Amino acid sequence: MKTKLILILSITSVIFMTALFIFYLIKGDISRWEVALGGIFVSALPLLLLFSKNIPFPALIIIGYYLFLFCTLFLGSIEEFYGRFKWWDSTLHFYKGIFMGAIAISLYKLCIPKQTRDHVSKWILFLFVLSVSVNATALWEIYEFVGDLTFTRTMQSGGNTDTMYDMIIGIVGGLLVAIYSIVRRKTL
């Protein structure tokens, strides 16, 4: 099931981004074909999971990944939702915080055997989930900073204030999942 899901979503997304890449390359729209080219690579990235013996992520996380790509790359950058809707950037940073918290829970379940989980402190789980989300938020902001230095000059258009709001909102999303993880620890 997960293998088919990854194949369908990856192939669909790669074809969609390739069509956008060709369209905007012919049109001469540099910023959009660069986004589409990056979209081809990140759309194909989950195909690497097919080489693992057991795909560690539930189907919802796989779907959530492609939803995030569609919202950031196509709607956000190519369709310019970032510029048209002030709330778009904040919403995606909040979603990313939640999404990375969910990935942390999946990694926790993958790395900690079920019979050992009862002996792991709920605060260790809380810190792990929050740390993964906070680190992903920080790495995303570094990505935006480097992207502005080298390519676009539009990713951090709000400057330091934008960066701080993005980080706070991403951390709040991760904090909610971290709280959820300690409340539901016994059923994870």
Please write the tens of the pLDDT for every residue from 116-126.
888 888 899 99
Confidence of residue 155 (pLDDT cuts 50, 70, 90): low
pLDDT at 137 over 70: yes
> What's the CA gap between 100 and 112, in Å, rounded?
18
pLDDT at 97 over 90: yes
Task: Specify the long-range contacts of residues 26-31, CB closer than 8 Å, at least 24 apart.
Answer: 31/77, 31/152, 31/154
Q: What is the mean pLDDT of residues 73-85?
A: 90
> What's the CA gap between 85 and 67, in Å, rounded?
18
pLDDT at 157 over 70: no
Q: What is the mean pLDDT of residues 54-78?
A: 91
Q: What is the mean pLDDT of residues 30-45?
A: 89
The larger pLDDT score, comparing residue 100 to residue 150, is at: 100
Q: Domain extents for the chain?
A: 1-57, 80-188
Confidence of residue 166 (pLDDT cuts 50, 70, 90): confident
Confidence of residue 74 (pLDDT cuts 50, 70, 90): very high
